[in-house]
Every structure is written in structure tokens, then in C-alpha cells.
Amino acid sequence: MGQVASNIVRYGLAVLFAGAAAYAFAEKRKVEIKHADFWRSLKTGEETINRLIGNVRLLHNGAAMTCDSAYMYPDNRFEAFGRVVVNKDTTWLFGDYMDYQSNIDVGKVRGRLVTLLDGKTRLRTQFLDFNTATNVAFFTKGGVIDNDENLLESNEGNYYSNQKLAIFNGKVEMKNEEYRIKSDSLHYLTEQDVSTFFKQTYIWHEDVFLSFRQGYYDKPGDHFFMSNHVYMMSEKQESWSDSAHYYRLQKEGEMFGNVQLYDSTQYAISLGDYAKLYEDRDLAYITKEPAGVLFSADPKDDTMFIKGDTLLVRRVANTDSATMAVDSTRKYMHAFFGVKFYHPDIQGVCDSMAYSAIDSLAEMFYSPILWNKENQLSADKMEIYQKNNQLHRLDMIDAGFIASQDDSVKSYYNQIKGKLIVAHFEQNDLYKVDVFGSGQTVYYLRDSLKLSGTLNASSVDIFFYIKNRTIQKINYVSGSESKVVPPKDINVKDLTLKGFSWQQDLRPRSRYDITRRAIQPSRRQQSLAIEQPTYVITSRIDKIKNAFFPPDDLRK
């Protein structure tokens, strides 16, 4: 358990037992009258009330209380009037009036402005109750706590002087030079400057919005921990997770459980159970069953799903060489180890893959295999180019191979092989194949669906023209050799080109072969509609004039 979390638990337990301990062991004493300039006794029926006037000083439970005048009642209760001051240890309390009931150790302090000071911490309200035995103050009609850097307000709250802990409930609003915060419940350790949130919480920072239900904020370390339905939004991104850490000084973050990173400008989503983010490098790693989702602005376009052991998402600024000004931003998604992807028109596997959203370029490395309709394509490396969100061109670099299964005889395979193969697509259908270097082909010929033989040919370069998924024309360039084998002489073994390997069992069949994770819909509009803190209580308190203010030198 971290130091901050440990302190939260420790102080929480202290609060639970503070009140019980005080009442169990505190000796019940009468209120002591230490001084008054004048003393008068008033007879009311069978009771005698003592009126104390001028520089009144009283003592109870170690709390010194002063005022301009007071009424003392037989039941050891008193009312204090005018410039009421209560001091217990490091706590000072100032008001206009106090009704003090010694049997329960509570003084009800009232005034145009009631102020409690404890070091640099100041609590302002108009209705404050203070327990002199436990050193606990509580308000129910709105209060504000501030110090050098933070301001907090709420409808009701407690201040535990011994623990230097403020507990706020009911429309809690907080701010400092960096953040504006709204929560339903907040605990604040004033000396450590740590805030703990227990219910729905919203935070605004520049263009960033945060939402979660539990967590804490360590201001000296500028560290946020958030849990339970964590959501973050900036101008161009949204993210979700079960829990998250954000270290602002280091500009780093970590996200755990059901992570989703959504980039609306690059039309990309990253999914996983863990993410590490580096803000200054525009870099994120996603692991633990990660998946990437690539889509377009047009909802009619199909979506691509990618998975691997690790996803890396990074953003690189493009600069104008003449002015060195940033003119665009390029988003990259890299998938490593055991990569698979699925799109209705194209599927693939490889060891690693890189995708550039700006260029619409995907690069596949180490034994890549691609499937398009009935075609299986493979090479040492592949480069996939898209145009208008459709497959446009495929460069198959080194050991390029295209294979397709014959429609009628499943043991027959059409094959194209070459050092470099460039495949051209239209409407995501293969329509032209350019083979450069050591081109070879085996093609099963059919006449009205009847097998008429096989074409076995080789050439330095070969150009194939395809229509309706059938080869219509073949051009051989330089040193071509070809022969047609009649059906009766077909030997599948002899017609299998070196490097052929049919790998249909590896082919992803649906997006659920990539990931079964649900994709969260955007919450941007709902989040923008959430009302930001208005600090109504602070505004009301700040407008109070001619109140009894404590001396400034107490706030040290």
C-alpha cells in the first residue's frame, strides 16, 4: 500500500475512534469563569442567572473562550455575546454569538461570519458547532475551507482539528491554480494537502475533463488516483478504464482494467487491460489482450480490428522544412507479436504491424499472410495502401506469393510467385497483379467451368489482368517460358511452386476472432453538458462585510 493510501486509512480510523475515546475518558468538568469586568446575578423564578460583562474569559475541556458578555445558567450552560473567541490547542474560532452546552461539550457559534483557523487552514461559515472535547467542528448550512493554494466549499462538513482533516458532503466544490473539482463527498488532509473522493467526482483542467467515483489527489506530488468508472476527455481524445493513475509532474499515466483509448481525429480506438501513457512523447503502450480498432468518418465504411501482445500508439508532428512550423500530426499504431487483423474485405496475420492513419499505410513484418476474398497473399514484408478507406495497393516485398483454391477441385491451387509482387485493387477486389523478378505461375484453366488443363509459366516479369475474379489476360516480359498441361497429365505435386503453404486455419473469420471487448460509445456531449463548479457559497461568504475577523498573524 502506498504512503498516501496508508495515511488515508490511518486518518480514517483516527476519525472513527476520536469521538468515542474523548467521551469515554474525558472528565466532565464545570465551566470555569476566569475573568469578567462585572458580574451580576439575576433571579428568574427559582433559578439564578449570572451575567458576565466585559472581557469575559471562560474555560472548559482545555478550551479558552472569550467574549464581550455572557449569561451563565444553573445547568452549566452559557450564552456568549460579542467578539466570541474559542481557542483549543492550535484551533481558533471566531464569531458573534455562541450557545455553549457543557453537558455535551458543544458550542453553537453563530454570526455574520464564523471563522475557524488552524494554522494556514481557514474555515468560514455562518453556523458552526464546535466540540471542545474532541476538537471537531461541523456545519450544515454551507461552509468554505481555504489555505494558501486550495479552496473547498460544501453544503455541510466536519473539521477534525486533531487529525487536520476536513470531511465535506453535499455539492462539494474545490479549486486551485490547476484544477476545478466537483464531488458528492470529499475528505481533505489539510497538512498533507491530500484530497480523497468517495462518490461521483468531476475534474476540469484546461481542456481536460475527468470523471470517476472513488480516488484521491496528492497535490504535493501532483498525483491523481481514480477508480470506478474512470473517464477522461480532452479536445481530441476520450478514454475509459476501471482505475487510473496520473502523474502530472512526470506527464505520465497508467490505466488498469477495460481500457479504451479513443482518438476522434485519427479514427482509432485502442483496447486492453493495461495502458502506460507518456504525455510529453505522445506515446501509449497497451497490453493484456490489447486490440486496435480503425474506422472512418463515414459510418457506412467497414471497421478493421487488430490484435497482438502489445499495441503502441504514438503521435508525430510533421513540420514545414522552411518555417519549421507544425503543419500536421501523424498518428501511428504498432502491433507486436502474434498480430492478427480482421476487415470484411481483408484479413491478415504477421509477427508485427505498423499503421499510419495519415498515410493510410499498413506495414506487415515477418512472415505476413493476407487474405482478400478467395486469395491468400504472402511475402517477407507487405505494405498495404488504402485510398478513400478502401484497399488500393499491396506491395509484397521479397518472396511474394499469391494462391487461391480452385472452385471445384479443392486440391488444386492457382499460384503466382515473384521476388516483388504489386497487387492493385478496386472496390476491394483484386483487378491487376504485377510480378517483378523471377515470376512464376500455375493457373488452372476452365472452359465453361470444365477443366481444360493448367498453365505453367515463368518470366522475368509478368502482368495479370483480372475481371470478376478470373484472369482475363497475361503479359509476359523477357525470357518467358510456358506450357499447358492437359487434365489427364495433371500432377498436383509437380504443379506446386516452391514456398506454397495453404494457411486457411490461421485466417480470422470475424471481428470476434480479434477481440470480444465491447466498444464504449462517445461520452463527449454528455460530459460537455455537465455544469462546472460555480462556488456559490464562496461568493456569498466573500460578500460579507463588517464581520468580526480574526487577526491575520494567526494564519501561519
pLDDT digits (tens, 9 = 90+) for 187-201: 999 999 999 999 999
Tell me which DSSP letter residue 213 carries: S
Residue 349 above 50 pLDDT? yes
The three three-digit cell numbers of residue 209, written as one number:
475533463
Residue 400 above 80 pLDDT? yes
Residue 11 above 50 pLDDT? no
Residue 232 forms beta bridges with which residues? Answer: 210, 239
Residue 464 forms beta bridges with which residues? Answer: 433, 474
How far, in Å, are 18, 84, 314 from residue 136 at the CA level?
A: 9, 18, 51
Here the contacts of 23-32 (C-beta below 8 Å, separation 24 or greater) are 23/133, 23/134, 26/61, 26/105, 26/133, 28/103, 29/60, 29/61, 29/102, 30/60, 30/76, 30/102, 31/58, 31/59, 31/60, 31/72, 31/76, 31/78, 31/100, 31/102, 32/58, 32/59, 32/60
Q: Interior CA angle at 436 toward 435 and 441, to 5°? A: 40
Contact (Cβ atoms closer than 8 angstroms) between residue 217 and residue 223? yes
Residue 552 above 70 pLDDT? no
Residue 320 above 80 pLDDT? no
Residue 449 above 80 pLDDT? no
Distance from C-alpha of 432 to C-alpha of 314, rounded to nearest angstrom: 34
Contact (Cβ atoms closer than 8 angstroms) between residue 197 and residue 186? yes
Contact (Cβ atoms closer than 8 angstroms) between residue 146 and residue 166? no
Please return the burial class of 433, using the count of CB atoms within 10 Å of its CB with bins 0-12, 13-18 and 19+.
buried
The whole-number pLDDT of residue 330 equals: 61
The whole-number pLDDT of residue 450 equals: 84
DSSP-assigned letters across all residues of 90-107 = TEEEEEEEEEEETTTTEE
How far, in Å, are 2, 347, 466 from residue 362 at the CA level?
A: 42, 12, 24
The whole-number pLDDT of residue 547 equals: 79
Contact (Cβ atoms closer than 8 angstroms) between residue 181 and residue 203? yes
Residue 408 forms beta bridges with which residues? Answer: none
Distance from C-alpha of 8 to C-alpha of 189, rounded to nearest angstrom: 8
Distance from C-alpha of 167 to C-alpha of 156, rounded to nearest angstrom: 9
Residue 275 above 50 pLDDT? yes
Distance from C-alpha of 458 to C-alpha of 419, rounded to nearest angstrom: 12
The whole-number pLDDT of residue 18 equals: 44
Give the amino acid at 317. Answer: A
Neighbours of 132 (CB within 10 A): 24
Q: What is the pLDDT of residues 68-86, one digit of tens each?
A: 999 999 888 999 999 999 9
Task: Lowest mean pLDDT of 221-225, 356-360, 484-488, name the range.
Answer: 356-360
Residue 123 above 60 pLDDT? yes
The whole-number pLDDT of residue 75 equals: 87
Percentage above 70 pLDDT, the chain:
91
Helix (H) or strand (E) holding 496: none
Can 3-264+533-550 and 369-504 be said to share one CATH topology?
yes
The whole-number pLDDT of residue 365 equals: 94
Q: What is the pLDDT of residues 126-140, one digit of tens each?
A: 999 999 999 999 999
Please, which pLDDT band fits residue 436 given cuts at 50, 70 and 90? Answer: very high
Q: Interior CA angle at 176 toward 172 and 179, to 5°? A: 75
Q: For domain 3-264+533-550, which CATH number applies: 2.60.450.10, 3.90.550.10, 3.40.30.10, 3.30.930.10?
A: 2.60.450.10
Please, which pLDDT band fits residue 319 given cuts at 50, 70 and 90? Answer: low
Of the chain, the end-to-end C-alpha distance in Å amounts to 32
Residue 549 above 90 pLDDT? no
Residue 468 above 90 pLDDT? no
Residue 367 above 80 pLDDT? yes
- Mean pLDDT value of segment 120-124: 93
- Mean pLDDT value of segment 307-323: 73
Distance from C-alpha of 15 to C-alpha of 7, rounded to nearest angstrom: 12
Q: For domain 369-504, which CATH number applies: 3.90.1310.10, 1.20.1070.10, 3.40.1670.10, 2.60.450.10?
A: 2.60.450.10
- Mean pLDDT value of segment 415-431: 91
Residue 27 above 60 pLDDT? no
| Among candidate residues 325, 300, 310, 218, the one with its CA nearest the CA of residue 270 | 310
The whole-number pLDDT of residue 421 equals: 94
Residue 141 above 80 pLDDT? yes
Residue 439 forms beta bridges with which residues? Answer: 459
The whole-number pLDDT of residue 327 equals: 63
Q: What is the pLDDT of residues 526-543, one digit of tens each?
A: 999 999 999 999 999 999
Residue 427 above 90 pLDDT? no
Q: What is the pLDDT of residues 470-510, one digit of tens each?
A: 788 888 887 788 888 888 888 888 889 999 999 999 999 99
- Mean pLDDT value of segment 449-458: 86
Residue 21 above 60 pLDDT? no
Residue 151 above 60 pLDDT? yes
The whole-number pLDDT of residue 326 equals: 45
Three-class HEC string of 356-385: ECCCCEEEEECCCEEEECCEEEECCEEEEE
- Mean pLDDT value of segment 398-405: 93
Please, which pLDDT band fits residue 13 given cuts at 50, 70 and 90? Answer: very low
* Greater model confidence, 351 or 547: 351
Q: What is the pLDDT of residues 368-389, one digit of tens each?
A: 999 998 899 999 999 999 887 7
* Greater model confidence, 20 or 463: 463
The whole-number pLDDT of residue 455 equals: 87
Contact (Cβ atoms closer than 8 angstroms) between residue 176 and residue 151? yes
The whole-number pLDDT of residue 4 equals: 52
The residue written with cell numbers 498525483 in the block is: 223
> Which residues, in sequence order, are CB contacts of 202 under 8 Å at separation 6+?
181, 182, 183, 209, 210, 211, 530
Percentage above 90 pLDDT, the chain:
62
The three three-digit cell numbers of residue 17, written as one number:
475512534
> Which residues, in sequence order, are CB contacts of 63 under 8 Å at separation 6+?
86, 87, 88, 132
The whole-number pLDDT of residue 78 equals: 95
Distance from C-alpha of 416 to C-alpha of 422, rounded to nearest angstrom: 11
Task: Lowest mean pLDDT of 241-250, 487-496, 516-525, name the range.
Answer: 487-496
Helix (H) or strand (E) holding 174: strand 165-175
Domains of the chain, by residue range, sit at 3-264+533-550, 369-504
Task: Lowest mean pLDDT of 246-250, 263-267, 303-307, 534-538, name the range.
Answer: 263-267
